[in-house]
Amino acid sequence: MRKKEFQIFTGNSNRRLAERIAKYLELEMSNAEVSRFPDGEIDVKIGDDVRGADVFLVQPTSPPVNENLMELLIMIDALRRASAERITAVIPYFGYARQDRKAEGRVPISAKLCANLITRAGADRVMTMDLHAAQIQGFFDIPVDHLYAAPVLIDYVRKKELQKPCVLCCDVGGAKMARAYAKRLGGAPLAIIDKRRTGPSETEVAEVIGTVEGHDVVVVDDMISTGTSIAEAARVARERGARSVRMVATHAVLCGKAMEKIEASKVEELVITDSVPITGKERPWIKTVTVAELLGEAIRRIHKSESVSSLFV
């Protein structure tokens, strides 16, 4: 019989988000020490009794990706061996998601490998957000709750009362997500960039499908890694006569020279969430909205066996 209480644990990847989730749920964070042995191996000690508990482990696999992924796996193992009744891996940002297919010969499908590892470690469910490709849900043979940050991000953008909004999607793969943004912005027109990737951090814009001229452009993407895609989209939008340009992205990985590239593109603002840690990335032109309440509410509903999809209606 499952204990009535549920518990929130976290590793080192985004403690602040986990604490915000716990606050929303009016819960104390449960204790786990996650440190390193002198040789760099991960040392985990679960501090609270979890026998029979419904455990939610918040650990996005953001950079340092491999460290955070390994912490996640080892913590799941520790919780399972400590007899937790059910373990939900809450992975708001799912690292390796872009390696979701064999784009060429002799390459791995690392997203599938990560899904296998998480399942084999002992997770019973996964909760994630704005997966790079929604079909990654199918890499798991356990239930996956896939949340969308759009309602939270759009709430903020809507308050800007843009006169002539238009949603610009960074690539064809993101069109579905962009359409959801356009709909929530009162049926704003949609434009799509036909992007070609010429290297891991290089892309080129082949064409813009749709019109951005004279519009208050909102460039949307699931994630910003090197910043190349979104900065290039902003540049093209300006070149084609946009009135104003804003950027909206769920996962602000912001590695390499991303900050410089975005700053140089002189956008009105960049709106991101706290799905990955943003410490050190604070700038006057960056607005961060929290997804803690959304995740917290989904956790509450999973625990109570209530509908999660109704959160998005």
- Residues with catalytic roles: 195
Residues 97-116 that bind ligand R5P (CB under 6 A): 98
Task: Rule CB under 6 A: choose which of 59, 61, 229, 265 binds ligand R5P.
Answer: 229
> Pick from 235, 51, 280, 244: which is nearest to 163 by CA?
244
Task: Tell whether residue 170 is a contact of ligand R5P (CB under 6 A).
Answer: yes
Give dist(CA 302, CA 54) in Å, integer: 10
Q: How far is the CB of 224 from ligand R5P (least distance, A)?
A: 5
Task: Tell whether residue 274 is a contact of ligand R5P (CB under 6 A).
Answer: no
- Of 200 and 241, which has the nearer Cβ to ligand R5P? 200
Task: Tell whether residue 167 is a contact of ligand R5P (CB under 6 A).
Answer: no
Give dist(CA 295, CA 92) in Å, integer: 8
- Of 114 and 224, which has the nearer Cβ to ligand R5P? 224
Q: How far is the CB of 7 from ligand R5P (least distance, A)?
A: 34
**Which ranges constitute the DSSP H helices of the chain?**
15-24, 65-81, 110-121, 150-158, 175-184, 228-239, 258-264, 292-303
Task: Rule CB under 6 A: choose which of 173, 238, 301, 303 binds ligand R5P.
Answer: 173
Task: Please enumerate in sequence order all residues whose Cβ is within 8 A of that of 100, keeping only pairs 6 or more positions apart, or say none.
Answer: 109, 111, 112, 132, 133, 135, 136, 139
Task: Rule CB under 6 A: choose which of 72, 168, 169, 223 binds ligand R5P.
Answer: 223
Neighbours of 65 (CB within 10 A): 16
Q: How far is the CB of 261 from ligand R5P (least distance, A)?
A: 8
Task: Tell whether residue 221 is a contact of ligand R5P (CB under 6 A).
Answer: yes
Total chain residues near ligand R5P (CB under 6 A): 16
Give me the amino acid identity at 303: H
Task: Tell whether residue 171 is a contact of ligand R5P (CB under 6 A).
Answer: yes
Task: Tell whether residue 62 is a contact of ligand R5P (CB under 6 A).
Answer: no
Query: Quick check: bond before 64 cis, omega within 30?
Result: yes
Pairing of strands 216-224, 165-169: parallel
Give me the amino acid identity at 121: A
Contact 13, 62 (CB under 8 A): yes
Task: Tell whether residue 128 is a contact of ligand R5P (CB under 6 A).
Answer: no
Task: Select from 10-18, 160-168, 223-231, 266-274 the region that touches ligand R5P (CB under 6 A).
Answer: 223-231
Task: Tell whether residue 225 is a contact of ligand R5P (CB under 6 A).
Answer: yes
Contact 61, 68 (CB under 8 A): yes
Contact residues: ligand R5P, CB under 6 A:
98, 170-171, 173-174, 201, 203, 221-229
